[in-house]
Amino acid sequence: MNDLSNPVQFLNRELSLIEFNRRVLAQAENKEIPLLERLRFLCIVSSNLDEFFEVRVAGLKEQIKLDTPGFSLDGMMPRQAFKRVSEQIHQLVAQQYQLLNESILPELGQQGIRFLRRASWNDAQRDWIKAYFFRELMPMLTPIGLDPSHPFPRVLNKSLNFIVELEGKDAFGRNSGIAIVQAPRILPRIIRLPSDVSTEEYSFIFLSSILHAHVGELFSGMQAIGCFQFRATRNSDLFVDEEEIKNLRIALQGELPQRHLGDAVRLEVADSCPQHMTAFLLDQLGLTQDDLYQVNGPVNLVRLIRVPDQIDKAQLKFPLFIPGFPFSSQKKKITDIFQKIRKNDILLHHPYQSFQPVIQFIQQASSDPDVVAIKQTVYRTGSDSTIMEALIHAASKGKEVTVVVELLARFDEEANINWASRLEEVGAHVVYGVVGHKTHSKMAMIVRREEGRLRRYVHLSTGNYHTGTAKLYTDFGLITCHEEICADVNEVFFQLTSLGKASKLKHLWQSPFSLHHQIQDAINREAENAKAGKPAHIIAKMNALLEPEIIRALYAASNAGVTIHLIVRGACALRPGVPGLSTNIKVRSIIGRFLEHSRIFYFRNNNHHHVYLSSADWMDRNFFRRIEICFPVLDSRLKKRVISEGLRPYLKDNVQAWEMDCNGYYKQKVLHRSKRFCAQEALLTKLVAVQQS
């Protein structure tokens, strides 16, 4: 088992991602979690699976289609991997809908929250729903009767559609028997009934139920004998020929509309849909029985994720909290953030601590007459961003503003194109990084004139400049004016905007140049320390661990006697606890209220205790096809904070932690309640309650 080139040493990426979604679904099953939050977790599984099909399954199907030779890291052929994936996702989806129908919906009903089926509508409700159909829905519908002049439409990716079976002939004598109705995307998929016709405190109707009840109105003189909802998921990876393009933004704008019309990879239909209709849909979409998912409920559970926001029942949700503020519990805004940074580096731990200091950092820079330049990378910010507005304001005031916009940030391409256009309109320098390498690093640099010289300030982070995700994702951010770190950041910006050789950086590790071998060197150094009888320990927290050379280095370090703790939220290809291979390696995953997103790397190094924060997971793409940074925490006080907040609680957690075995399966420990320790709860208490006292 110690042949480190043997594929048996690795786990399958796709199957590992399915295991991750099993852990998320377990949150929806957990009755200790508030009921509406359980509904959210159920919806998150559906959202995750959507992207899984759009990218990972689409990739497998493309390999099968092209008959790509070779094996994946774990030795599995694409066809074999697809079969395993299909089997396991069918099981997962069946479990998901069973949980919805047998547990979550009945429990919501007990709390006065009901999703009314057509059979349960009373006369007043039927009248209101009929009026809603004619007023809001029917004017927007375009039913398509299938015949030689009206072929099967190219239904959009993940859109809600209905296949209708008809009897009789229309005004032109046509009787094809099948029509397609596409639900307008602008309409809500779930409608709350007004209180005067509601029998419960909260009564909701699915848009699909309204259309089912009145679909006959769309086909005058014909009889609708069946109406069945369906949804097609399509390959959503964008193809941009890096050898041919001359303008990345124009090329991408040309590709974006095609995302909704890629090859179909999955068909979801109501379980009431008869076999001959599902066979027809599969044939039209070019799919097989393995791609069919018949479900007992809405074909798009993601739409239910908005329901908790419409319900005012605090006892059914996680308790609200106000993020802690690092400067003062009384004063949440300081007049000179630069003075504060000069005094001490600032470490922010989101979402327990507020994202507001980052916003202040950029906003004050945009208005400060002494600030002469701002440089920032943009990966995800959302369509409504205070930070982006501040950059636009700074550029409009004549400051030198340079923004490296990553146009290929998956599913954020359109928002980023729009921001790029607005920035250019006010004179900002907008660049798109390096073609072939996504700019995934999170950096902002302010250049300020102070006492006759220019001083640089930087913000570095493990997460995006997105105020929404800063409330939901755990991330660390560092604001500093350390001259050598600032010089390193400046060099990275030069690489992104200019031409020339990459210079050696003093403190930052950077992909695609140094990060991979620096991580390997750090792991190997721990192995050498262990062999020499010196203290050796590795703790690494990340979203995914897949890169084979790093995994082999970890195996070798384990064999040398290094204790290795890995906290990997999602996919992990490493097998822990295998005698003679990974005896000293433990892997755990934390799934809780907040999405664990921070990347933290700790190397004991003979008690020198090196701590790094990074934008990069340990994956091939992050090491070799992205611009990433990994930065040290040099301040000893802040270094202790990262260890005590970002690592130790997660190794101690026995509530939200899942331990991984050597076959890639996860289990939770069952402990007595008096011994329970939840990392996220402990951090909320430590960083929120104390800061607000």
Is the per-residue pLDDT at 662 higher than 90? yes
Quick: pLDDT tens for 60-75: 998 898 887 766 788 8
Q: Choose among 369, 397, 485, 434: nearest CA to 626.
A: 434
Q: Is residue 374 included in any domain, yes or no? A: yes
Say whether both 479 and 533 belong to one domain: no
Contact 525, 605 (CB under 8 A): yes
Q: Is residue 329 part of a domain?
A: no
Beta bridge mates, 205: 191
DSSP 416: H
> Which of the residue ranges 68-77, 153-162, 165-174, 480-489 would you say has the lowest mean pLDDT?
165-174
Q: Point out the domain boundary residue: 316, 348, 370.
A: 316
> Of all residues in the chain, what percent carry a pLDDT higher than 90?
75
The secondary structure of residue 240, as a DSSP letter, is -
- Let me know if residue 323 belongs to a domain: no
Structure confidence at residue 74 (pLDDT): 86
Based on the domain organization, do 398 and 469 belong to the same domain? Answer: yes
Q: Is residue 6 part of a domain?
A: no
Residues 548 and 486 in one domain: no
**Cα–Cα distance for residue pair 106/113, rounded to 1 Å:** 9
* Mean predicted lDDT score pLDDT of the chain: 90
pLDDT in tens, 438-473: 889 999 999 999 988 999 999 999 999 999 999 999
Report if residue 547 sits inside a domain: yes
Both 46 and 163 in one domain: the answer is yes
Read off the amino acid at residue 221.
G
Of 472, 503, 534, the position where a domain reaches its end is 503
Q: Are 385 and 358 in contact (CB under 8 A)?
A: no
**Dihedral over alpha carbons 467, 471, 476, 477 (to 10 degrees):** 30
| Residues sharing a CB contact under 8 Å with residue 667, sequence separation 6 or more, in sequence order | 658, 659, 661
Lowest mean pLDDT among 46-50, 254-258, 369-373: 254-258
* Closest to 568 (Cα-Cα) out of 580, 593, 549, 551: 551
Q: Say if residues 381 and 461 touch (Cβ distance below 8 Å).
A: no
* 451 & 344 share domain: yes
Which of 440, 466, 482, 516 is labelled catalytic?
440
Secondary structure E strands in 90-236: 113-115, 144-145, 161-167, 178-182, 190-192, 202-206, 223-234
Between CA 400 and CA 386 the distance in angstroms is 19
Find the CATH number of the domain harbouring 413.
Answer: 3.30.870.10
Q: What is the pLDDT of residues 228-262, one digit of tens each?
A: 999 999 998 644 444 444 444 444 444 444 444 68
The pLDDT value recorded for residue 669 is: 74
Q: In degrees, to the nearest 5, what angle opens at C-alpha 623 toward C-alphas 252 and 638?
A: 110
User: What CA dihedral angle connects 6, 9, 11 and 12, to 10 degrees?
Assistant: 0
How many CA within 13 A on the CB side of residue 170? Answer: 17
CATH code for the domain of 130: 3.30.1840.10
Task: Judge residue 215's burial from the number of C-beta atoms within 10 Å of its C-beta, 0-12 exposed, 13-18 middle, 19 or more buried.
Answer: buried
> Given CA atoms 247, 248, 251, 254 in this order, what sign does their dihedral have?
negative
State whether residue 180 is helix, strand or coil: strand
- Confidence (pLDDT) at 148: 60
Distances from the Cα of 577 to the Cαs of 420, 516, 597, 654, in angstroms? 48, 24, 25, 19
In a domain, residue 658? The reply is yes
Last residue of a domain, one of 503, 538, 568: 503
Least confident of 88-92, 151-155, 644-648: 151-155
R_g of the chain computed on alpha carbons? 27
Q: How far apart are CA 676 and CA 669, in angstroms?
A: 10
Residue 608, both tokens: 């020198």
φ and ψ at residue 226, rounded to 5 degrees: -170, 140
Distance CA 649, CA 662 (A): 24
Report the domain count for the chain: 3
Q: Is-catalytic flag, 440?
A: yes
Based on the fold, state whether residues 602 and 555 are members of the same structural domain.
yes
The predicted pLDDT at position 211 comes to: 94
Which of the residue ranges 101-110, 135-144, 509-518, 545-554 would you say has the lowest mean pLDDT? 135-144
Q: Which of 7-21, 36-50, 380-394, 443-457 has the lowest mean pLDDT?
A: 380-394
Answer whether residue 1 is part of any domain.
no
One domain for residues 548 and 642: yes
Q: Quick one: pLDDT at residue 434?
A: 78
What are the CA-CA distances from residue 600 to residues 391, 440, 542 (Å)?
A: 29, 16, 7
Whether residues 248 and 359 fall in one domain: no
- pLDDT greater than 70 at residue 408: no
| Residue 589 sits in the same domain as residue 671 | yes
Q: What is the pLDDT of residues 186-220, one digit of tens each?
A: 889 999 999 999 989 999 999 999 999 999 999 88
DSSP 55: I
pLDDT at 7: 62
Q: Indicate whether 3 pLDDT > 60.
A: no
Question: Do 187 and 221 belong to one domain?
Answer: yes
244 and 114 in a common domain: yes
Q: Is the pLDDT of residue 2 over 60?
A: no
Domain containing 108 equals 11-316
| Domain membership flag for residue 550 | yes
How big is the CA angle at 230 (ends 227 and 234), to the nearest 5 degrees? 155
Nearest alpha-carbon partner for 205 in 269, 137, 138, 129: 129
Model pTM above 0.75: yes
Same domain, 61 and 166: yes
Residue 693 pLDDT greater than 60, yes or no: no
Reported as a single tens digit per residue, the pLDDT across 542-601 is 999 999 999 999 999 999 999 999 999 999 999 999 999 999 999 999 999 999 999 999
- For residue range 268-309, list pLDDT tens digits in order: 999 999 999 999 999 999 999 999 999 999 999 999 999 999
